[in-house]
Amino acid sequence: MTAETKAAVELEEIRRILLGPVEEANAARDERILNFIKSETTASAERLERMEARINELAAMVENARRTTLTDLGKAIEDLAAQPKRPIVETRSANPNTGDLHGNVQALAATRNTR
């Protein structure tokens, strides 16, 4: 072995002694980080699936409520159509003072202007 080769081997041995524990710690840390990311990704996917299922349930409930409301409105319109039509009563004959309302407002305005 030449001196250069022997020096390179010794240098590699020193590097392994000094940096070996750091590299092992880094590899273990990287493994823990990857495991954490995998578990969080799995948990997030499960939460998203539960949320999607709940949204689908709510959409079905809204659709059922909409159909029920439309059915009820249809029945109400049908009931109204079945009732006999009543003649429209003129509002002045129902309340005889209604015609005087305009005159009363004008009289009130006139008294305020004279003060």
The predicted model scores a pTM of 0.47
Provide the token pair at 6: 């022997």
Q: Give the residue with greater pLDDT, 105 vs 67.
A: 67
Q: In this predicted structure, what is the pLDDT of residue 97? A: 57
Tell me the pLDDT tens digit for each residue of 39-71: 999 999 999 999 999 999 999 999 999 999 999
What whole-number distance in Å separates Cα of residue 30 and Cα of residue 37? Answer: 11
Tell me the pLDDT tens digit for each residue of 19-36: 888 899 999 999 999 999
Our CA angle for 45, 49, 52, nearest 5°, is 135
